[in-house]
Amino acid sequence: MKRTTGRGTRLLVVGVFVLSLMVTLGARLFTVQVVGADGYRAAASTNREREIVTPAVRGLVLDDRGRPLISNRSALVVSVSRTTLLDSADEGRALITRLATALRLPFATVWGRTQLCGTKGAPKAPICFNGAPYQPVPVAQDVDPRIALQIMERSEDFPGVTAELQAVRTIPEPLGVNAAHLLGYLGPVTDAELKASSAAAREGRAELQRTDRVGRAGLEKEYDTALRGSPGVTDVGVDIRGRVTGELSSTEPVAGNYVVTSVDAKVQAATEKALAKGIKEARKRTDRGSGKKTKADSGAAVVMDVRTGQIVAMASWPTYDPKVWLGGITDTELAGLTDERAGTPMVSRATQGLFPPASTFKVVSLPAAVQSGYNLHGSYQCGSSYQVGERAFHNYESEAYGTIDLHKAIVVSCDTIFYKFAYETWLRLGGSDNHSDARDPFVAMAKAFGLGKDTGIDLPDDVAGRIPDRAWKQAYWEDTRKYYCGKAKSGFPEVAKDDPSRAAFLTQLAKENCADGNVFRGGDAANFAIGQGDVSVSPLQMVRVYAAIANGGTLWTPHLGKAIVSPAGKVVQRIAPKKAGTVPLRHDVLKFLQSALRGVVTSGTGRGVFAGFPVPVAGKTGTGEVYGKQATSWFSSYAPSNNPQYAVSVVVSQGGTGATTAAPIVRDIYSAIYGVQGNRIVKSKAALPGGRPPAALPTIRPDGTIQTPEGPVASTQGLPDPRVRASR
């Protein structure tokens, strides 16, 4: 009986305890959900954390002696707090109206810059704001200091408006350098890039931020990661409308590194000047073939260190002002850069331009012919023409030289000997019945020199060119057969109305390509041997070929970067030269080629241009024939011929013969490098002292000041920069 009574008492105590807990919990819930609801709701609305990202100062791009090719400058930037705009009854329209008036900008422009990209009513990028919705919005850059001061002194009229110095991109143009195609430009980050960047961040790589501007071309794109640095991050509390309620924590941004290049500003400026001058002079002459003024519509020049593959200078014409990208490019300006009538200035002819190499290609064909069994020291008939099947292939201007050796064949640029080599080799390989390139020495040698594929240069745009072997012929025919068969039936009426003979030629060509355009004919082999027909190369590829001949057969991967250096001068990474391969040249063949190329300059097609020139140059002229156009002018070379250091290759589209247009440009470039004035060397005038690139990297002091030959240069230029347009 006692046992039952005790158990009941314990149950009663437990029940009372549980009931009291439930009452207490209920009271607490009532207090939280009813009594304190407004307070907790307010607190919750202000306790969300967000990050405000401060972009890092972007690193500089320097030439080989420290001269800034791309730099930063201080700019007064006016920004508006979105919190202030959101707190206004009219969402800030009155404030923006006053601000636009003070800045002397249209209201629509300033208002558009406050709108978040992707939101309803926002203008398209780059006008809209691509940043986070809770951070200040920059609405004007390069503001006049007097205007900025007036705005800041009238804070009651401009609440939430700030004016501060920020680092923005600039193009210093040292010594008058243009280098538009090398430098590149920046653009806003895209949603696709942000998504890819987030995935990369999970693997430990740097993550892009919405406010970032990333490289879109040239060195800005190729070395974007090194130049960008690490952004600063400020954690802030924001309410449900995106208004900032307080700062929680902050980390400072880390400036981007500097990229030291192999480009020398003096040589680059001289190369650009020589190319522009040569094209201007060419236009004064009459073209031999057409009897009209030479068009000289585009061109390029490349200077390479034959011992390392480093690019010392690279120029393209037509060019444009690289500052056009600073502050945002207009639709009209962009259209001008891509306008074919203006020569498509945005295209780099040095890396993207494709041209028939013409006789400069014979340095490839000669060792191929020797490999095919022809005697290097034999004598051959250089007639005015050579019969290939039913067609006669002519020497340039049908000149005949009689029986000559291969040394003279290079010196005077005899085509018919090379036609013979190529055609007889084609016959031995099976003629039209042979569908394999496996045993073709001409194709093999061209590919061994790196032709037909991109060079691997550290620039985004690098064309592969075309080596039209049997495999290419088959693939091209399969892709174009339907088109050519259609044209074989219809002809070319759109051409015939203005040029009946050209229309007839194109129609006959269409019929041949429709029927058996995949066949590698004897004529294809003959054209291949002299760099004509479908063979196409870039100037960068050809300078690489001649560099390999100069250095003994090493094929370097062309590159512009020498080192990555911190803003305080610490070497982060040295970019070592990269060997791409070795060209299979017999030692005797190599020496023979070197001797013949020197002979071109002393007694051959280049003799007139380089007469009395104090620097021994070896090189080859080329005159490329393009149907319906004037001849393409080439000169590819290296110097000094007895101890090679640099290779220079120049091409001018529709520029006439190689000797009349391209060769004088090459002479001017070597003159700048070595300080040639008249027929003597003036060492004090040499762009490169001693004719060699600097062995050491530029000196960068701990405060970021760069020591250049012209004196110390600050890492950030001062305010203002009158060459840059004010933000519109």
CA distance 408 to 260: 44
In the CATH scheme, what is the code of domain 52-261? Answer: 3.90.1310.10
Q: Is the pLDDT of residue 1 over 50?
A: no
Q: Identify the residue with better confidence: 674 or 2.
A: 674
DSSP string spanning 674-724?
A: HTEETTEE-GGG-SSGGGS--SSPPEE-TTS-EEETTEEE-SEE-S--TTS
**Of 645, 632, 635, which is closest to residue 686 (Cα–Cα)?**
645
The closest of 348, 136, 274 to 676, measured between CA atoms, is: 274
Q: CA nearest 380: which of 400, 361, 350, 355? A: 400
Tell me what pLDDT residue 587 has: 97
The structure tokens listed for 181 are 């195609």
Q: Does the pLDDT value for residue 79 go beyond 80?
A: yes
Q: What is the pLDDT of residue 637?
A: 98
pLDDT value at residue 721: 47
Q: Which two tokens stand for residue 560?
A: 């512009």
Instruction: Output the six-digit token pair for 83.
Output: 């919190």
Strand 699-700, strand 385-388: pairing: unpaired
**CA pair distance 648, 268, nearest whole angstrom:** 12
Pairing of strands 68-80, 716-717: parallel
- When pLDDT is cut at 50, 70 and 90, the band that residue 2 belongs to is very low
Q: 10 Å Cβ neighbour count for 377?
A: 10
- Indicate if 262-332+346-363+370-382+400-414+441-457+535-561+578-697 has the same CATH topology as 52-261: no
Map out the domains of the chain as residue ranges: 52-261, 262-332+346-363+370-382+400-414+441-457+535-561+578-697
**Nearest alpha carbon to residue 540 among 294, 352, 370, 271:** 352
pLDDT tens digit string along 39-67?
A: 555 545 445 776 666 778 999 999 999 99
Q: Which of 86-90, 180-184, 686-690 has the lowest mean pLDDT?
A: 86-90
The mean-pLDDT minimum among 234-238, 338-342, 394-398 falls in 234-238
Least confident span in 10-14, 547-551, 568-572: 10-14
Q: What is the pLDDT of residues 497-546, one digit of tens each?
A: 989 988 998 999 999 999 999 999 999 999 999 999 999 999 999 999 99
CATH superfamily placement of domain 262-332+346-363+370-382+400-414+441-457+535-561+578-697: DD-peptidase/beta-lactamase superfamily (3.40.710.10)
pLDDT at 20: 66
Length of the chain: 728
pLDDT tens, position by position, 596-616: 999 999 999 999 999 999 999
Of 627, 629, 619, 687, the C-alpha closest to 654 is: 629
In the predicted model, is pLDDT for residue 153 greater than 50?
yes
- At residue 722, the pLDDT reads 42
pLDDT band for position 246 (cuts 50, 70, 90):
confident
d(CA 126, CA 185): 14
pLDDT tops 90 at residue 554 = yes
Q: What is the mean pLDDT of residues 378-403?
A: 94
Predicted local distance difference test score (pLDDT) of residue 38 = 59
> Could you tell me what percent of the chain has a pLDDT over 90?
74
Instruction: For residue 172, give the 3-state DSSP assignment.
Output: coil
> Residue 650: helix, strand or coil by DSSP?
strand
Could you tell me if 345 and 320 are in contact, meaning their C-beta atoms sit under 8 angstroms apart?
yes
Q: Is the pLDDT of residue 359 over 90?
A: yes
Do 61 and 69 form a contact (C-beta atoms < 8 A)?
Answer: yes
- Using 50, 70 and 90 to split pLDDT, how confident is the model at 206? low
387, β-bridge pairs:
392
* Cβ within 8 Å of residue 427, ≥6 positions away: 522
- pLDDT at site 247: 73
Cα Rg of the chain (Å, integer)? 34
Min mean pLDDT across 184-193, 266-275, 707-716 is at 184-193
Mean pLDDT of 216-244: 83
The answer, yes or no, to whether residue 688 has pLDDT greater than 80, is yes
Kindly indicate the confidence band of residue 184, based on its pLDDT and cuts at 50, 70 and 90.
Answer: very high
Q: Between these two residues, 83 and 580, which has the higher pLDDT value?
A: 580
DSSP E strand stretches across 318-447: 379-382, 385-388, 391-394, 402-405
- The predicted-structure confidence for 113-123, as pLDDT tens digits, reads as follows 999 988 888 99
What is the pTM for the complete model shown?
A: 0.88
Averaged over 365-385, what is the pLDDT?
97
Residue 258, burial from CB neighbour count under 10 angstroms (0-12, 13-18, 19+): buried
Q: Say if CB 185 and CB 195 are below 8 A apart.
A: no
Position 154 pLDDT exceeds 90? yes
pLDDT at 233: 74
State pLDDT tens for residues 86-102: 889 999 999 999 999 99
Are 687 and 671 in contact, with CB atoms under 8 Å apart?
Answer: no
